[in-house]
């Protein structure tokens, strides 16, 4: 098809093709006319001057530690019962729920001579790879015994990749006064139901 050469013929072809007619002042390649009164440099400096009088939000970290919210998702913690036994029963539900495949769990069987948790099993091996963890919190939602929770500790940077794979010993909560390091016999009852189904203690 030959291109139209007569004046006005090209506009006629565009109208028949459904194109929108341009206004006479809007020529291609022509810059638009600014309708602002103030010059462009003055408007740009106005934004700069407006920021000078605002409150500075610079944080002096790490000299001033950052205060996180109470529900902040930080480093994981494996909790204990009041007598020191581990709440983790080695069910591996946290590992199945992790979308980043950052948790590795191996369950072990409790015996009368070596008891680490009130149930039949306990977490013999527990590892969290913080190179993969996205701190989504799905693992703590999947935990049926509330063993796994997340603390406010967010300082996890390191220069060695191996050190960012936390083991069970690093994740276990510290022993509080009145707790005994496992393995030991159950102190809160003769059955695991006394641990997980007992009525909450009322503070005096």
Beta bridge pairs of residue 80: 86
Residue spans of alpha helices (H) in the chain: 9-16, 40-52, 93-97, 138-142, 168-171, 193-196
Inside any domain, residue 22: no
Query: Is residue 30 assigned to a domain?
Result: no
Lowest mean pLDDT among 19-23, 145-149, 176-180: 19-23
CB 168 within 8 A of CB 79: no
**Residue 139 annotated as binding?**
yes
Q: Please report whether residue 68 resides in a domain.
A: no
The reply, when asked if residue 88 is annotated as ligand binding, is yes
Spatial separation of the C-alpha atoms in residues 170 and 37, rounded to whole Å: 65
Q: Is 159 assigned a ligand-binding role in the annotation?
A: no
Here the CATH number for the domain that contains residue 110 is 3.30.70.3270
Residue 170 counted as domain residue: yes
Read off the pLDDT of residues 61-107 as tens digits, 9 standing for 90 and up: 889 988 899 899 999 999 999 999 999 999 999 999 999 999 999 99
| Residue 175 annotated as part of some ligand binding site | no
- Rounded Cα distance between 103 and 97, Å, is 9
| pLDDT for res 147 | 95
Q: Which residue has the tokens 């539900």?
A: 93
Question: What mean pLDDT comes out for the span 151-172?
Answer: 95
Cβ pair 88, 145 in contact under 8 A: yes
Going through 18-167 in order, the beta strands assigned E by DSSP cover 76-78, 103-109, 121-129, 148-150, 165-166
Q: Would you say 152 and 72 are in contact if contact means Cβ atoms under 8 Å apart?
A: yes
Q: Is position 54 annotated in a ligand binding site? A: no
| Residue at 172 is within a domain | yes
In a domain, 57, yes or no: no
Q: Is residue 6 part of a domain?
A: no
pTM recorded for the entire structure: 0.69
- CA 3, CA 10: separation in Å to the nearest integer? 8
User: Within a domain: residue 34?
Assistant: no
CA distance 130 to 162: 10
Tell me the residue range of the domain where 133 lies. Answer: 76-196
- Answer yes or no: is 98 a known binding residue: yes
Report the number of distinct structural domains present in the chain: 1
């Amino acid at each position: 098809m030959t291109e139209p050469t007569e004046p006005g013929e090209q506009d006629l072809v565009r109208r028949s093709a459904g194109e929108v007619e341009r206004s006479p002042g809007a020529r291609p390649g022509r810059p638009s006319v600014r309708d602002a009164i103030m010059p462009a440099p003055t408007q740009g400096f106005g934004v700069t001057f407006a920021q000078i009088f605002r409150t500075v939000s610079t944080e002096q970290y790490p000299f001033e530690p950052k205060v996180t919210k109470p529900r902040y998702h930080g480093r994981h913690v494996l909790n204990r019962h009041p007598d020191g036994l581990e709440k983790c029963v080695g069910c591996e539900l946290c590992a199945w729920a992790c979308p980043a495949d950052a948790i590795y769990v191996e369950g072990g069987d409790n015996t009368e001579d070596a008891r680490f948790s009130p149930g039949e099993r306990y977490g013999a091996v527990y590892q969290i790879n913080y190179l993969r963890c996205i701190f989504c919190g799905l693992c703590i939602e999947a935990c049926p015994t509330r063993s796994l929770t997340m603390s406010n500790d967010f300082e996890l940077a390191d220069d060695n990749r191996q050190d960012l794979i936390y083991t069970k010993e690093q994740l276990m909560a510290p022993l509080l006064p009145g707790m005994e390091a496992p393995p030991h016999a159950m102190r809160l009852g003769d059955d695991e139901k006394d641990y997980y189904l007992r009525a909450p203690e009322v503070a005096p």
